[in-house]
Amino acid sequence: MSHPRVISWLPINTELIAPGQSLSAEGNLVLNSSVPTQPKGPFIYDEVIRQVQLTTTGDESGVQFTITGIGSEVDTNGNPTEVIRLISEVVTGPTNVLPTNSSNIYKQVISISANDAVGNISVGSGANGITDFVFLDYNKSFGQANSAIQFIDTVNIMATSYISLNKPQYIDINFGNLKSSPFLAIEDIPETQEDTFTALPMPISVVWLSIKDTTTDSLYFTVLQQGVYP
C-alpha cells in the first residue's frame, strides 16, 4: 500500500535556530541543537532546505557573521546549483528594522560566529528555500504519481514545483569528493499562490517545491505514488 509523503513549510520563526543572546566579544552563537549529545549544535531543518535569518532588537550592522553548514548556493529560481555540501558565507548583521537573510540555503547549520561583540541577536528560519527532494520509484509498472500544494496562508508566499529525470548525486565523504553535480530541473507547476493538484508525468526520478517570500505563510506539499512491480 502506498502512503503519501507530506512535507510542511512553516512560517518564519525568528528563534528556531538560535534564541536571543548576546556576546561580550567575538565568538560563536549557541544554537538550538537537533542532536541531544551535542548541546551547542548542529541545528537540522525538518524536511526542508532553507535560508537562515538573523534578527535583532538593536543595530548589529557593524558586525560580520559567518554561517557554516550543509547547504548550497541557489540559482535565480531558488534551486540548488550543486550537491548540498559543507559551505559557509559571511553576512552583515541585521538592524531592528531590517533582518538579514543568508544567500545560501541550508539543511544543517553547524555554527554561526560573530567577529565582534553582539548586543542582541537571534537566528531563525529564512523566507526562501526548497522542500526535501521526494524520490520516486520509476521501476513500477502502471505507475502514477500525483502532487498537491495546499496553502494555509498566502500573505506573500509563492511556490513552484520542479521535477527531474536525474537523481542529484550525494557527496562521497569517504573520498572527500566535494565536486558539484548539477542536474536538470524542469518546472512542473508554475509559480502560484493557489491550491494546486496535478498528475506528475511518469517516469520521473524526483520532485520538489521551491518556496519564496515566506512571512506568516505556510503550506503542505504532498506527493503520492502508486503502481505495481513487473
Sequence length of the chain is 230
Indicate if the pLDDT at residue 230 is higher than 60.
Answer: no
Q: Are residues 135 and 111 in the same domain?
A: no
Number of structural domains, the chain? 2
Q: Are residues 113 and 19 in the same domain?
A: yes
Residue 141 has a pLDDT of 61
Q: Which of 25-39, 75-89, 137-151 has the lowest mean pLDDT?
A: 137-151
**Look-up of cell digits 506528475:** 200
Mean pLDDT (the chain, rounded)? 88
Task: For 65, list phi and psi in degrees, rounded to 5.
Answer: -115, 135
Q: Are residues 49 and 142 in the same domain?
A: no
Q: Are residues 111 and 169 in the same domain?
A: no
- Residue range(s) defining the domain that contains residue 76: 12-127
Q: Which of 97, 127, 157 is the last residue of a domain?
A: 127
What is the C-alpha separation between 18 and 42, in angstroms, rounded? Answer: 10
| Amino acid letter, 69 | G
- Looking at residues 75-90, what average pLDDT do you find? 90
Q: Which of 92, 111, 127 is the last residue of a domain?
A: 127
Indicate if the pLDDT at residue 184 is higher than 80.
Answer: no
Q: Are residues 108 and 183 in the same domain?
A: no
Indicate if the pLDDT at residue 229 is higher than 60.
Answer: no
Indicate if the pLDDT at residue 178 is higher than 50.
Answer: no
Q: What is the pTM of this model?
A: 0.89
Strand 105-114 versus strand 64-72 pairing type:
antiparallel
Q: Which of 127, 144, 170 is the last residue of a domain?
A: 127
Strand 196-200 versus strand 141-153 pairing type:
antiparallel
Q: Are residues 202 and 169 in the same domain?
A: yes
- Looking at residues 160-187, what average pLDDT do you find? 67
| 3-state secondary structure labels for all residues of 167-201 | CCCCCCHHHCCCCCCCCCCEEEEEEECCCEEEEEC
19, part of any domain = yes
